[in-house]
Structure 1
Amino acid sequence: MRIPESELILNPDGSIYHLNLTPKDIATTIITVGDPDRVDDVSEYFDTIEVKVQNREFKTHTGTYKGNRISVISTGIGTDNIDIVFNELDALANIDFTTRTVKKNLTQLTFIRIGTSGAIQPEIPLDSIILSEVAIGFDNLLHFYKNDSILDSDFSEAFIKHTNWNSKKSNPYVVSADEKLLQLFSSEEILRGITTTHVGFYGPQGRVLRLPLEDATLNEKIASFTYNRRKITNLEMETAGIYGMAKLLGHRAISLNAILANRATGTFSNTPKKAINTIIQHTLDVLFP
């Protein structure tokens, strides 16, 4: 079936609307970062760079590392941007732009999120790396898609009950990492944990500047929640959307989080740049040893 111009929007040069990329511009292995400036931090490790494109907060570099083609793209902050980035990257891989039809043979993409995060358990050290086994989304992105096949409803129901979740907020959803990528990136140096994905940086993550919170004890409830003897380890703003969109589209995804803040102890890393560089180098070395 032909996809109308209003649904798949292409620019005059044939690139896709928001990302300004053409199908030849991306690799099948893609690192995602939130900050556009962090794209340069990643691509400086590349041996070659063949593509440099930026539109709005979406910045892409594609090149090679140890002879392997790889892309890095900035998503900006939040799962609303994840919806744009993942749909458009999938379209670049799996839709014929000439006929506006889905290709018969689909290409599976591999996504590795390199992000920063805040720990919610006091024992998690600053500058450590957490590999997200499971993500809990507090946004409503996945509720706009048919999602029953990928979500852990027992997990989310237990969380809703434990936190006495306000029904005016979107129902939390739970989605897991790609199992093969989880095994690939697991090591003694990397912590494994459960990540919550929030819809904002301040109130939604329990920060108070001038505005009072609807539930001032929510972070305490999150920290005290256990499921199958596992605790929530950290919070951020993209992982659940990445895991959900990747699974729905038939791709693979994993999220690595550099812990720059510990919300339980009120501390922040003295060497955030070093922590980010460590996670970048680790990611590239695991992908291409």
Structure 2
Amino acid sequence: MRETAAEATATTAETGTTAELAPGVVIPLIGLGTWPMTGEDAASAVDRAIANGYRHIDTAENYGNEEAVGEGIRRSGIDRGDLFLTTKFNRHWHSKAGVREAFGAAARRIGTEYLDLFLIHWPNPAQGRFVEAAEGLTRLAEEGLIRCWGVSNFKPAHLRELQAAGLDVPLNQVQVDPEHQQSDQLAFHAEHGIATAAYSPLGRGGGFLSDPAVMGPAGEYGKTPAQVVLRWQVQSGRVAIPKSADDGRQRENLDVFGFALTTPEMAAIDALNTGAPPRLDSDEFGH
């Protein structure tokens, strides 16, 4: 049974375009993913994305495009205070002092005095130093060099280690799409107040985009299948970071806040979950 228009409108109203990560730190729910773009491709995509309305840009040291992302931001002419900028550092910097060096290097490459969100890219548990890295991040936040910190690809076991050290994680960026929902992971996030940012939110093969659970709402609301999946992401309370260098798709990816999926429609997409793990196992892979 379809929800009434009033119920759907109420759902839309409840899903804003931003979320609060920490007091005064507001993150746009849709961000621009920039991997694997580099050089002029990345700079142009970022410049055009900002012109198309993006206010959240996601990059990383290991993407090899921080300089290009910075160039795109400069070309756009946007005021730095109007942009939410996320980057990530690799395992070379997993120490309290190393994180400070990582920040300085990233800030120079991008051309910014501060970062809105700085993430440990992978836990690298065999190295055994991600707790030190997180402690270094909290110091940068206390000094105002970064507005918020977080992690990426951390399993619940890794997050528990941080909690045991007295560290409350604001955000974990992990792979989430309709077929890879990581239910236990997301339940842990919900239980402990950890925000979830979904990378590869539209998947990599995208086979589920043609499933009736996605195609049905797309036809009902006059949206693309990708828009329906992004709506499912944000309506589930997640930040989503789709990558696109195409102007039309960039605008479409932002246009997911004017409609709402019904409870049965959300459940139908939830039911696409295969239980498959993320593409890379963070106990074994890292950089």
Asked if these proteins are the same fold (TM beyond 0.5), I'd say no
Q: Aligning the two structures, in what range does the TM-score lie when normalised by the shorter sequence?
A: under 0.3
Higher strand share: 1
The TM-score normalised by the length of structure 2 is 0.27
TM-score norm. by structure 1 comes to 0.27
- Which structure's residues are more often helix, by fraction? 2
